[in-house]
């Protein structure tokens, strides 16, 4: 979808195009913290490699259109986002909304346990949705180059610690059962966020606990 959108934006004379990539663009085994210059050092983690590769092709297209046509397109790579209004559908949600739903629903239903994929050892970094919006806005206003830029919080947490934190914040006191037949995914994810700070002055301002509380409050009020 992104390829024709970028092309038609150039055809239509759009002044600037902001392409959003993903942390899944990075190789499975990337030195931590992930630096933009490591993007092409290997193949992405297998469970989301097709998605990551498709996004990386947008970077190639963005750079090619700048070089050939002088088209002002930029490429940002946000880490996993979370916050109010997230997708809480258990069939398609990402880790934070999935865990919030599991804990809240288990507490409501009086269940004595929840089941979580993997063994809890992988680490992840998350960016609060309003911080992400601010970062995208700053880049749109201030950044005009083809080098990819990470958007993140520079805060890393293990899945085990994440589950325990969400259980505490939702007041779920049951047992956490790890389903180790399910994949862990990429072993670690943590971004080097210096380029975003240097190039367009972005630094995440929401603490992880505050962001989680807002996401939980939203689900308690509006979630199903």
pLDDT in tens, 3-52: 999 999 999 999 999 999 999 999 999 999 999 999 999 999 898 899 99
How is the beta sheet containing 123-128 ordered, strand by strand?
80-82, 123-128, 156-158
Residue 66 binned pLDDT confidence (cut-offs 50, 70, 90): very high
Mean pLDDT of the chain: 95
Mean pLDDT calculated for residue range 90-97: 92
This prediction's pTM: 0.92
Q: Who has greater pLDDT, 125 or 183?
A: 125
Active site amino acids: 51
CATH fold for domain 2-222: Rossmann fold (3.40.50)
Rounded to the nearest 5 degrees, what angle is found at the Cα of 125, between the Cα atoms of 183 and 118? Answer: 20
Lowest mean pLDDT among 92-101, 137-146, 167-176, 184-193: 184-193
Mean pLDDT calculated for residue range 187-212: 96
What share of the chain in percent tops pLDDT 90? 91
For 103: left if phi > 0, alpha if psi spans -120 to 50, otherwise beta; the answer is alpha
């Amino acid at each position: 979808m992104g390829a024709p959108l970028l092309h038609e934006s150039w055809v239509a004379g759009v002044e600037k195009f902001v392409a959003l990539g993903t942390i899944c663009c990075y190789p499975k085994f990337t030195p931590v913290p992930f630096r933009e210059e490591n993007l092409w050092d290997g193949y992405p983690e297998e469970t989301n490699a097709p998605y990551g590769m498709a996004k990386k092709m947008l970077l190639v297209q963005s750079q090619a259109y700048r070089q050939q046509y002088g088209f002002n397109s930029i490429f940002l790579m946000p880490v996993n986002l979370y916050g109010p209004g997230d997708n809480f559908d258990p069939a398609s949600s990402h880790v934070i909304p999935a865990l919030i739903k599991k804990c809240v629903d288990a507490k409501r239903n009086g269940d004595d346990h929840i089941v979580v994929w993997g063994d809890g050892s992988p680490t992840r970094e998350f960016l609060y949705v309003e911080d992400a919006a601010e970062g995208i806005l700053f880049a749109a206003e201030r950044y005009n180059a083809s080098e990819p830029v990470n958007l993140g919080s520079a805060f890393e947490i293990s899945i085990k610690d994440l589950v325990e934190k969400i259980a505490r914040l939702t007041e779920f006191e049951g047992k956490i059962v790890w389903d180790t037949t399910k994949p862990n995914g990429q072993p670690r994810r943590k971004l080097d966020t210096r380029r975003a700070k240097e190039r367009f002055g972005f630094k995440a301002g929401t603490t992880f606990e505050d962001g989680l509380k807002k996401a939980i409050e939203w689900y308690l009020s509006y979630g199903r």
